[in-house]
Amino acid sequence: MSERLRVVPAVYITILKNKKVLLLRRFQTGYLDGYWDLPSGHVEAGETLKECCVRELKEETSLKTKISDLKLIHVYQNFANPESAYFGYIFRADHWQGRPSIQEPTKCDDMNFFLLSKLPPKIVPQVKEALNNIDAETEVTFSLLGLNHKILRTD
């Protein structure tokens, strides 16, 4: 009998403004430092995915959104570390308020809005896939990452 897979759930929040997306540059996190990423974080015990989105968005950017304003747009599985697979849920906040600012300078050294058509070259792979498919006909897109964070498949 095989052992059950241990999964780390993570959420990402897509903030759009005038065809631009808010990205944070990762810094001293131990995971793809120097790459641009969406506001994101790990789900805490007893927390729903959308509750986590609301909390993480405020903690990292000072922006506020409501659970009812969040729409799931992409799901991914990352098996780069076979002992601890990540399952990620990328949401879009249809409505938000505030002015974004870096709230965790020990994890993020830059924050900016980028045109969806001109994303930076160093962007977290699963985020790039989600943003490339943000206008997809399907409700939710999916990507699978393997070793070295390479995209193996996108549906």
Where do the domains of the chain lie? 7-154
On the question of pLDDT at 147 being above 80, the answer is no
Instruction: Kindly report which listed range (7-11, 35-39, 110-114) carries the lowest average pLDDT score.
Output: 7-11
Cα separation, 87 vs 12, in Å, equals: 11
Residue-wise pLDDT tens digits, 50-97: 999 999 999 999 999 999 999 999 999 988 777 778 899 999 999 999
Would the CA dihedral through 110, 8, 139, 148 be positive or negative?
Answer: positive
The two three-digit tokens of residue 65, written as one number: 């959104």
On the question of pLDDT at 148 being above 90, the answer is no
Is residue 57 within 8 A of residue 33, CB to CB? The reply is no
pLDDT of residue 41: 96
Cα separation, 78 vs 106, in Å, equals: 25
The two three-digit tokens of residue 93, written as one number: 């906040």
**27: buried, middle or exposed (CB in 10 Å: 19+, 13-18, 0-12)?**
middle
Secondary element (H or E) of residue 132: helix 125-132
pLDDT of residue 47: 96
On the question of pLDDT at 28 being above 70, the answer is yes
How would DSSP label each residue in 25-39?
Answer: EE-SSSSSTT-EE-S
Topology of the domain comprising 7-154: Nucleoside Triphosphate Pyrophosphohydrolase (3.90.79)
Residue-wise pLDDT tens digits, 85-130: 889 999 999 999 999 999 999 999 999 999 999 999 999 999 999 9
3-class SS at 128? helix
pLDDT of residue 103: 97
Cα dihedral 129, 134, 139, 142, rounded to 10, equals 0
136 pLDDT band (50/70/90 cuts)?
Answer: low
Please tell me the pTM assigned to this model. 0.91
